[in-house]
Amino acid sequence: MSAPGDLLPLPVGHLHGNGPDGALVRVGTDQVVLPDRLFTAWALAHGLPDRPADEPWTVDALLTTGAAQGLGDLRAALDDLVADRVVRLVDPAAGRPFAEQHRLVLQVLGLGNDPDRPHSWSLGLLGQPLVEVNGTVLDLVEHADLHPDLWSAVGATATSARRAGRTDPADTDPDRLLAEVLPVLHGLLAADVVHLDTRYVMA
């Protein structure tokens, strides 16, 4: 089990405007209003676009960065966001409960790979790649919103990998795949190529 400071602060919801009392964030079919103090912490929970991929965006990283940027101590704001369920603190080694209750939504396009870099695929807008991912992450994010939750999407991606003849458990075992994917989500969230939402439930 990860220490509290090593948990991943994963923001839930999609910004879709501003109201007189703060930012409007859609979560499922609900709308949450985040005043400036909470919106600042929620936005920072997405991570930083230029952060190296091998440096996970943890609770400690968020709080340290907030203090360094002159935002003060964001701990209370983060606690409020967790209480309101617009940020979830997730242990990447035990992320299945989170994955079963949330889904991943792709907001951009898959742009293919570069012949000179055949194992790296770009996601972004036409003529404007925003991030590069490996083939497994690409398979997951391109089809994730066809599934009601992230865990279902991970399972389908692992099944596709096995059918394609892959043998690496990081690609073919759902629990291992999820543990690999969760720490890289902030790179996608910070670039605004995906967002997290609550599990889709049929009416």
Whose CA is closest to 10, among 76, 99, 72, 93?
Answer: 99
Compute the distance between CA of residue 94 and CA of residue 2 in angstroms, rounded to an integer: 9
Q: Which residue has the tokens 């983060």?
A: 78
pTM summary value: 0.93
At 116, give phi and psi (nearest 5°).
-80, -10
Pair (63, 154) in one structural domain? no
Q: Which residue, 36, 68, 92, sits at the end of a domain?
A: 92
Q: Among 60, 77, 92, which residue terminates a domain?
A: 92
> Domain of 108?
99-198
Specify whether 138 is located in the same domain as 164: yes
Contact criterion met (CB below 8 Å) for 87 and 45: yes
Both 44 and 104 in one domain: the answer is no
Last residue of a domain, one of 57, 92, 127: 92
**Same domain for 118 and 192?**
yes
Along the 203 residues of the chain, how does pLDDT read in single tens digits?
778 899 999 999 999 899 999 999 999 999 999 999 999 999 999 999 989 888 999 999 999 999 999 999 999 999 999 999 999 999 999 999 999 999 999 999 888 887 788 788 888 888 888 899 988 899 999 999 899 999 999 999 999 999 989 889 989 999 999 999 999 999 999 999 999 999 987 65
